[in-house]
Structure formats: structure tokens, C-alpha cells
């Protein structure tokens, strides 16, 4: 399927007006990674490093039934969308852990607006707990700073949306995510999707729905974030990930990391994807969030999972962590942005940012842009006729740590 171009006169405005900047309060770094220790120490660490506001919203919203899972086909939609553009390249802005209603998230939202991409995609986590009010403040209110792409916006869920059982994510956020499909404008029907053209498939994965289990206990016994059976069926029967004749390059998007040098791994998702690929398996490029940082990994995969180049872009709106790696996989860690922007509450905080993808033919140029509109890293990915990926580093900020 080729990238579809549309002339400007056929443009349908999928966004809303942006009003003047408004003053907001910086959210403290309340999702600090838990250190190893006893169960009691973990509980103490959890509440000690979170704002009372988070505890209040969590306890107020967490209890009750989980929202009904939505999957394709739904309302006549199969979740596959052809990429549209008015130019020679399709542009996409990827941002994660952005919805914090802070000056930093505003800054990133307005920067994305200035680039005016074809698509904007949020990789999950609406803070504090994804309530209807928080979704409205960040995405749908007239003065919200989320920028809707020229041809649409899409959203994935993280664990924070599920702390309120996912109800607002499915009932408020997804209906606001409009996406062009041919000559029609569709509404996102499920928490996963596939954007595609003749060279690439960009596939959003829902690791959020199964990222919670029992209230409070989920702090101690973290779920594995596995993909639901309905999701896997869609990957094999609709997306046809297992088709050995489809040699398009694969890019996965998710909230939770497949592997990490800074937080917990989620290997079960890689195992599920390996099974979904079957004989068509090949290495992929994988973007995720969850960790509030910018980091880059060489190709890696668990022995029973797929191989992937990992890119963590969880630095959209939360205070950015700059601590060195301490969870393994350091042999695969290529770069991480350890630059210190300022100190907040006696803690070093880094630079917020987002990823801007420019898709043109078999190549994708990616710029990782910080809140000062500086390119931190630029790279070019190319897919060949066999579906194999290769990367060329184009630019590296001199202060970024090369591991």
C-alpha cells in the first residue's frame, strides 16, 4: 500500500485551536523506580516518593471493575490505517509520559505544533491516574496543549490510565483520537493500531491493559503487561504479521519496555510477538516509554523472544531521570541523555523531548528533539527488499553519554 498524498484543499481539520500559554505547576518525580528490598520497604518507598495527590487519586479511582477491553473489528474498523501526507514525506511525532499538565508538557506540545506533523502519537501515561478531568486538561480542553496531526492522532495506554481502570481512556481519550482512513475520518476504536505504507508498518501495541492487577498489590508484584488474546489474533489474522511475503519494515510502539538497563524487563511481550511472527520473524525497531528518560539500545532480544533495537522516549512531560544504568543490558545500551537541566527537590532533572519521524520511501529519518528545540540525536533507518533494517547515526549531541 503506497503512501497517499492529498492536496491541501482536501484538508480536513482534525485538531482544535491552541490558546495562549497558561501557568502550570511542575509535577514532582513521583514514579521513581523502586529499589530492591523487603516488601515493607517497597511499600514505604512507593508512598514516600509519590505526591499525596497521586495517592489520593489512586485510592479514589483504583477500585472497581476494569473497563471492558476494546478490540477490532469494532464499528466497522479493522485498526489498519494508510499513511497520508501532503508532501513527499510522512511525518510523525512520538511522545510518551507527556500528559502531565505542566509547563514542560506545554512546551513539548507547542514544539510539536510548530513542526505540524501528519500524525501525533502518545505512547501512554496520563497523570495522575488517567481520570476524565486529566484527559480533558491534557488533550481535549480548548487550552490543552496536545497537537492533533494533520491526518490524525493515536494513543496507547500505560499503567497510569489503568490506575482508574481504563474507563476514561476508552470512553474519553480514544473517541477524541481522529485518524484519516482514505477519504473518511475514523475514531480510534481500540488501544492498538497499524499505520502502513508500501515500505513500513508502524504498529501500536497495548501493554497497558494488563499492566495492573490487584490494587496496592500491583506495587509489589508487577504484572507482565502481556498482550491480550484478541490483540494477538488481530496481529496474525488482520495485520498478518506472520506473512513471509510481506517484507515491509516493522516498527513497534508500546508504553512498556521490552528490556531496559534502568527498570524491569517485559520479556513476555517479546515471546508473544515471536509466536505471532512465526516463520516471518525478523528484527524490528521498537519505541517505548514508561521510563522518564531518553535512551538507545543496540539490537537485543531474549532467547525465546524477538530481536529489537530499543528506543526509550519516555521523556515527554515528567521530570527526566538522569541516573546511570543499574539493571543490566549495558552491553546493548548505546546512548542515554544524562544532561542535567536543573535541580528540583534536591534531584537532578534532565531535558524533556519527543521523536520526530520523517518517512520517505525505504528510509526513515528520526530526530530526537529536546524542549529547547535542539536535536539530541538524529538517525536514519532503512529497510531492504528482504525486510532487514539498518541504521546510520547522523548526529549526536556532544554532551550525550555514549555508553
Global pTM reads 0.87
What integer pLDDT is reported at residue 58 of this predicted model? 63
Mean of pLDDT values over 294-298: 98
- Residue at grid coordinates 494513543: 155
Q: What average pLDDT does this structure show over 386-395?
A: 98
> With bands split at pLDDT 50, 70 and 90, how would you rate the model's confidence at 403?
confident
User: For residue range 315-369, what is the model confidence (pLDDT) as tens digits?
Assistant: 999 989 999 999 889 899 999 999 999 887 778 899 999 999 999 999 999 999 9
Q: Under 8 Å CB-to-CB from 160, ≥6 apart: which residues?
A: 124, 125, 126, 127, 128, 129, 130
Which pLDDT band holds residue 5 (cuts at 50, 70, 90)?
low
Closest CA to 106 of 354, 360, 383: 354
> Do the beta carbons of residue 84 and residue 3 sit within 8 Å?
yes
Provide the mean pLDDT of the chain: 86
SS3 state at 381: strand
pLDDT over threshold 60, residue 391: yes
For residue 344, the model assigns a pLDDT of: 75
The span from the CA of 306 to the CA of 271, in Å, is 7
Q: What pLDDT was estimated at residue 94?
A: 99
Q: What is the pLDDT of residue 219?
A: 62
Residue pointed to by grid coordinates 513527499: 88
List domains and CATH numbers for the chain.
8-61 (no CATH), 67-402 (3.60.21.10)
For residues 89 and 121, give the distance between their C-alpha atoms in angstroms, rounded to a whole number. 17
- Is there a contact between 26 and 342 (Cβ–Cβ < 8 Å)? no
At residue 54, the pLDDT reads 60
pLDDT, tens digit, for every residue of 148-187?
999 999 999 999 999 889 999 999 999 999 999 988 999 9
For residues 45-60, give the mean pLDDT. 51
Amino acid at each position: 500500500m503506497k503512501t497517499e498524498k492529498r492536496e491541501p484543499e482536501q484538508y480536513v481539520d482534525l485538531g482544535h485551536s491552541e490558546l495562549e500559554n497558561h501557568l502550570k505547576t511542575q509535577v514532582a518525580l513521583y514514579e521513581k523506580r523502586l529499589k530492591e528490598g523487603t516488601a515493607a520497604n517497597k511499600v514505604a518507598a512507593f508512598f514516600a516518593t509519590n505526591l499525596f495527590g497521586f495517592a489520593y487519586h489512586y485510592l479514589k479511582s483504583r477500585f472497581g471493575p476494569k473497563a471492558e477491553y476494546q478490540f477490532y473489528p469494532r464499528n466497522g474498523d479493522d485498526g489498519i490505517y494508510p499513511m497520508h501526507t501532503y508532501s513527499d514525506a510522512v511525518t510523525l511525532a512520538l511522545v510518551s509520559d507527556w500528559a502531565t499538565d505542566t509547563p514542560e508538557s506545554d512546551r513539548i506540545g507547542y514544539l510539536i505544533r510548530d513542526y505540524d506533523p501528519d500524525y501525533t502519537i502518545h505512547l501512554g501515561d496520563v497523570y495522575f491516574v488517567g481520570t476524565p478531568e486529566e484527559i480533558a486538561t491534557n488533550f481535549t480542553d480548548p487550552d490543552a496543549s496536545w497537537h492533533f496531526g494533520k491526518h490524525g492522532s493515536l494513543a496507547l495506554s500505560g499503567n497510569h490510565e489503568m490506575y482508574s481502570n481504563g474507563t476514561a481512556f476508552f470512553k474519553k481519550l480514544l473517541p477524541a483520537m481522529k485518524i484519516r482512513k482514505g477519504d473518511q475520518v475514523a475514531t480510534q476504536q481500540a488501544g492498538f493500531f497499524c499505520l502502513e505504507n508500501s515500505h513500513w508498518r508502524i504498529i501500536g501495541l497495548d501493554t497497558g491493559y494488563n499492566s495492573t492487577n490487584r490494587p496496592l498489590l500491583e506495587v509489589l508484584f508487577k504484572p507482565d503487561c502481556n498482550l491480550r488474546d484478541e490483540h494477538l489474533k488481530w496481529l496474525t489474522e488482520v495485520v498478518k504479521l506472520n506473512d513471509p511475503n510481506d517484507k515491509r519494515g516493522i516498527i513497534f510502539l508500546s508504553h512498556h519496555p521490552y528490556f531496559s538497563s534502568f527498570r524491569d524487563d517485559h520479556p513476555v511481550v517479546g515471546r508473544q510477538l515471536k509466536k505471532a511472527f512465526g516463520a516471518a520473524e525478523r528484527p524490528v525497531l521498537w519505541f517505548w516509554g514508561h521510563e522518564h528518560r531518553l535512551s538507545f539500545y543496540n539490537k537485543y532480544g531474549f532467547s525465546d523472544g524477538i530481536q529489537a533495537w530499543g528506543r526509550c522516549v519516555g521523556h515527554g512531560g515528567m521530570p527526566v531521570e538522569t541516573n546511570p544504568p543499574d539493571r543490566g543490558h549495558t552491553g546493548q545500551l548505546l546512548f542515554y541523555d544524562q544532561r542535567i537541566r536543573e535541580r528540583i527537590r534536591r534531584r537532578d532533572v534532565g531535558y524533556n523531548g519527543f521523536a520526530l519521524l520523517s518517512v520517505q520511501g525505504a528510509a526513515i529519518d528520526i530526530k530526537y528533539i529536546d524542549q529547547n528545540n535542539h536535536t539530541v540525536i538524529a538517525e536514519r533507518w532503512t529497510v531492504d527488499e528482504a525486510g532487514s533494517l539498518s541504521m546510520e547515526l547522523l548526529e549526536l549531541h556532544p554532551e550525550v553519554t555514549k555508553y
